[in-house]
Amino acid sequence: WTDGSWTFEITSRGTEAGEEILNVTGGERRGRRQTLQVLADSGLLLSARQDVFMGQGDKFALTVKNTSADTLPADAADRVSQLQSEMLTLQRELKRRPDSQLAELSARQIEIVMPKIDQLSALAKDTPLQEAALRIRRDVERQHGRIAKTMDRQQQLLNKDAPGFSLNRVTGGLVDSETLKGKTVVLHFWKYAEKPLSEPYGQVGYLEFLYNKRKASGVEVVGIATNTALQQPNSSRSAKRATRKLIEFMNLTYPIGYDDGSLLRAFGDPRDVGGKLPLWVVISSSGKVVHYHGGFYEVDRRQGLKELDEVLRQQLQPNANK
């Protein structure tokens, strides 16, 4: 049978303490595997082992074992079942993959979750999931505040002249705003360090795809490495080497530069208001700031960074900057 992107099969049966045991294997299209051991009559999970890939494809084994089990009272069991159903429905509405490692929510997703927090908390009350529901509430409220502050910063910057810059390129030479005049420019602030490196890799793969799609129309992309090791004489050489490895690993063709952090401070570091990098800034062909986005974008499987691409598409229309 299948569940999402996973396919499962009962491979053998056995007995333990007089109860029938099912041994199950699962596989996913991207190569991950699971082995499960469950009680045949109830489906209770006894143990599980799953492949986990981190960093640049490093493989680890995650193993869990059930050491005890308690039966919930009927009312609590019913509410846990309802909560599980609501959470799965919410996951679909948010359009998040079950295996997503990204914790951040977009503004659209926050709008969907906020009205449902009270219902989730009520269902979880006095059940084993009460603490989980409380953590969800705290995280959603924190992210709601983060997005509100990011939107305030965007309003402060919109249609203002973008600061000029001259950055040292990791591969040598300079990236200068003077040479980009008349272009629509995407600035992408991120660490650009080889390690630690984990999905979604700063979304640079999607940015590279978008760059190749739009560069013939006058769009330029500049990556700005926020790795502080690049600024230190004793660590600059090794930091540059690590960034070059990342460029090769992700097949990036747009230039990547760095400075002493001044450009990020000029736009406003989203981390100062509880947000995270990457930071995305779009500068129009007339030199005005037209977009400011802290954190990751929602990804459309067919269109990639759809929200960012829509900003660029509007900028490329005739009379967009008149």
Of the pLDDT bands very low, low, confident and very high (cuts 50, 70, 90), residue 299 is confident
Chain Cα centroid distance, residue 21: 38
- DSSP letters spanning 244-309: HHHHHHHT--S-EEE-SSHHHHHH--GGGGT--S-EEEEE-TTSBEEEEEESPPP-BTTTBSHHHH
128-152 residue pLDDT tens: 999 999 999 999 999 999 889 888 9
Q: What is the mean pLDDT of residues 38-55?
A: 88
> What is the spatial distance between Cα 88 and Cα 64, in angstroms, rounded to a whole number?
22
* pLDDT reported for residue 86: 95
**pTM of the prediction?**
0.77
Write out pLDDT tens, residues 17-27. 889 999 999 99
Most confident range, picked from 201-205, 221-225, 303-307: 221-225
Task: Centre a 10 Å sphere on the Cβ of residue 236 and count the other Cβ atoms it contains.
Answer: 16
pLDDT exceeds cutoff 70 at 321: no
Which residues are within 8 A (CB) of 226 and not within 5 positions of it... i.e. 6 or more apart?
Answer: 189, 190, 191, 192, 258, 261, 264, 277
Kindly report, residue by residue over 92-105, the tens digit of the pLDDT.
999 877 667 678 88
pLDDT for 108 beyond 60 = yes
Q: What is the pLDDT of residue 70?
A: 87
Average pLDDT for 199-218: 92
Enumerate residues 6+ apart whose C-beta is below 8 A from 37: 21, 22, 23, 24, 45, 46, 47, 48
Burial of 96 (0-12, 13-18, 19+ CB in 10 A): middle
As given in the structure block, the two tokens for residue 301 are 């499987």
- Percentage, residues of the chain above pLDDT 70: 95
Please check the confidence at residue 56 and state whether its pLDDT lies above 60: no
pLDDT of residue 254: 97
CB count in 10 Å sphere of residue 13: 10
**Across 65-70, average pLDDT:** 90
Say which residue, 322 or 95, is predicted with more confidence.
95
**What is the mean predicted confidence (pLDDT) over 55-66?**
82
**Is pLDDT above 60 for 322?**
no
Model confidence at 202: pLDDT above 90 = no
**Mean pLDDT, rounded, for 258-284:** 93
Average pLDDT rounded to a whole number, residues 156-166: 94
Residue 57, both tokens: 């494809």
Residue 320 pLDDT = 64
What local confidence, expressed as pLDDT, does residue 276 receive?
A: 85
Q: What is the pLDDT of residue 157?
A: 93
> Which of these, 48, 36, 131, lies nearest to 83 by C-alpha position?
131
